[in-house]
Structure 1
Amino acid sequence: MTLRIDESTRQVREFVCGCCDTAAERTWADIRADDATAAVYFASCYHHDGVHEVWIDAILGSWGRDDFDDHVTFGCRVGPVAGSPEPAATLVNGGEVAGDSPIFGRKLGREEGLAHPRLPEFWQMVDLVLEGDALVRRHLIGA
């Protein structure tokens, strides 16, 4: 399965972080697997206390219909971690700052996400976002 970001669906918006009142940016787009949408991701780029971090949520499931019963939302934080010179991704509760829209399906907590059979797909999508979303890449590494 080949994944790609569907640039025709990509959007960016600036907002103010609710916890620290600083400017932040959020980007989102569809992730396509071959010819079908496999997920939608939201990547929020923050400057918490001068630390560059990105919080990524991805909704995996069937798309193109009004039934969200198979949707699950994973989340991760990408940023500095103890003992690593490079940013690292850490699984967190999915969709924690998202609203209650049914599109998110079941928002997975960290422990539930770690045991979920679709976790490897989520990590593939995180890698894709980190490599393929210019805003996220620029925010984390300045490239």
Structure 2
Amino acid sequence: MELAIDPDRQVKSLACDCCETPFDRVTGFINNENGAYAIYFASCYHHDGVHDAWIDVIMDDHWDADAPATRPGAGRVTFGCRVGPVEGHDGVACSLVGAARLAADIPLYGRKLSRGEALDHPWLVAYWDTVDHILENDPTVSAHLYGV
């Protein structure tokens, strides 16, 4: 499956709710050969010299071409992970977390998966493929985590 980040992605500079430290949030669509594939939010933080990103990916079994963000299919779910340093591990690692924990419960997200639900979900492999694509191809996220 060929994935591509839509060029109309948006980057907003915001302030962390807990400490007012500035961070960037990327919002974008990911397309595949059939059109809309996923929506992602990547929040790139740097607290106390630690660079990490929290990535939520919304996946759906049926994207409405006219309103992909507001008309969820029956299977719409959101996965979440933290990407950054992990104790005992060299470099950057991905850790599955509860999805969109700070976001409002609105139809956009469908069902927000807990870590346990995500581990058992049949789309988990597709989610990790999507995260890999974001890490490699989103310039804001790549520069934040890898300095490239």
Q: Cα RMSD over matched residues?
A: 1.1
Structure-1 separation of matches of 2:4 and 2:34: 10
2:14 maps to 1:11:
no
**What secondary structure is seen at the aligned counterpart in 1 of 2:130?**
helix
Deviation (angstroms), 1:82: 1.5
Matched letter for residue 123 of structure 2: R
Are the equivalent residues in 1 in contact too, given 2:72–2:110 (CA < 8 A)?
A: no
Identity %: 48
1:86 alignment partner, SS class: strand
Q: Return the alpha-carbon distance in structure 2 between the equivalents of residues 35 and 105 of structure 1.
A: 21
2:21 and 2:50 mapped to 1: Cα distance?
12
8 Å Cα contact 2:97/2:114 also seen in 1: yes
The alpha-carbon deviation at position 98 of structure 1 amounts to: 1.4
- Stretches of structure 1 lacking an aligned partner (at least 5 in a row): none
**1:99 and 2:98 correspond:** no
The partner residue of 2:79 within 74, 96, 101 is 74
8 Å CA contact retained: 1:30, 1:38 = yes
AA at the equivalent of 2:4 = R
Equivalent pairs counted in the alignment come to 142
- CA shift, 1:10, in A, is 0.4
1:21 match: 20
Residue number in structure 2 paired with 1:131 = 136
Q: Which runs of 4+ in 1 moved over 6 A?
A: none
* TM-score w.r.t. length of structure 2: 0.92
Which deviations, in whole Å up to 9, do the C-alpha atoms of 1:1-50 show, x marking residues without a partner? 2111111x300101111122100100111111113111100000001222
Other-structure match for 1:63: 63
SS in 2 for 1:99: coil
Deviation at 1:100, TM superposition (A): 1.7
Distance 1:63 1:14 in 2: 28
- Give 1:2's aligned residue: 2
Contact 1:68 1:102 in 2 (8 A): no
